[in-house]
Amino acid sequence: MKLAKIIGTVVATRKDESLVGYKLMIIRRIDGKGEFIDSEEVAVDYVGAGIGEIVLIGQGSAVRVDKTKREAAIDMAIIGIVDTMDI
């Protein structure tokens, strides 16, 4: 998983049917010091996370293992909210 911060939301009215009902968040990856790295990406929220929170990002088929998501065109999801990082 990657570490990221939620920095915004996206509205997309016209989209693949399998994405209807999912919340799309704009995230940006952070390193272990909390500094932004890479550019903005869009992840589906699985855990009820809010803007400003540090989260765990899952990618690829890992985010479609759940029976309810097998047929959703999701390749990136917020799969956890980070309470603390000890480095």
Q: How far is the CB of 22 from a second copy (least distance, A)?
A: 10
Nearer to a second copy, 21 or 86 (CB): 86
Nearer to a second copy, 1 or 21 (CB): 1
Task: Return d(Cα 84, Cα 54) in angstroms, integer.
Answer: 9
- Could you give the angle at the alpha carbon of 38 between the alpha carbons of 34 and 43, nearest 5°? 85
Give the chain's length: 87
Q: How far is the CB of 5 from a second copy (least distance, A)?
A: 11
Given candidates 12, 21, 52, 68, which one binds a second copy under the rule CB under 8 A?
A: 12
The sign of the torsion formed by the CA atoms of 33, 38, 40, 44 equals: negative
* Contact set for a second copy, span 56-85 (CB under 8 A): 56, 58-66, 70-77, 79-85
Structural contact between residues 8 and 51, judged by C-beta atoms closer than 8 angstroms: yes
Nearer to a second copy, 21 or 87 (CB): 87
